[in-house]
Amino acid sequence: MKAATDTIELTFERTIPASPTQVFEGWLSPKVSGTPWNIAEKLSLDPKIDGFFYLHVKGISHYGRFTEVESPSRIRHTWVSPNTLGLESIVTLTFKKQGADTIMTLAHSGLPDTPEGRKHEQGWNYFLNTFPEQFGKASREEK
């Protein structure tokens, strides 16, 4: 019997200079830059419990179902795409007040840990684009 695919969880944290309500509402607005919905070529979004989304970006379709929508503190929804091998991964967002700011966390769990998910060449391009100077420097030092 073939072993089940291992999964990984990615977590991120940001300090956003706005109230939890503004950040919560911003994240659910397709008009706000940086939300996944903002880059959609086609979008259907119904952010309520058991509401669905359909997101078409760069030729790839993503689907999901909202399972928790607790304004202004928490959002959870499933996320299905070719990269999840058709499995339901889970995206969980939390928004916590810290003074005048909001600590926002995003966790994406249940992602299949496959070579397709971590493409070596693209990984390199990401680093080269993000840190061009030090990669150039590190490469020279190695020689």
Give min distance, CB of 1 to other proteins, in A: 27
Residues within window 14-73 making contact with other proteins, judged by CB under 8 A:
14-18, 22-23, 26-27, 32-36, 38-39
* Residue 114 to residue 93: CA distance in whole angstroms: 24
Residue carrying the six token digits 């590190």: 138
Bridge partners of residue 109, in order along the sequence: 90
Candidate list 83, 88, 97, 103; residue touching other proteins; CB under 8 A:
83
Ramachandran angles phi, psi of 99, nearest 5°: 60, -125
Instruction: Give the one residue of 5, 61, 120, 143 binding other proteins; rule: CB under 8 A.
Output: 120
**How many other C-beta atoms are found inside a 10 Å radius of the C-beta of residue 114?**
14
**Dihedral over alpha carbons 109, 115, 118, 121 (to 10 degrees):** -170
Minimum distance, C-beta of residue 115 to other proteins, in the bound complex (Å): 10
The footprint of other proteins (CB under 8 A) covers: 8, 10-18, 22-23, 26-27, 32-36, 38-39, 83, 104, 106, 108, 111, 113, 117-120, 122-124, 126-127, 130-131, 133-135, 137-138, 141
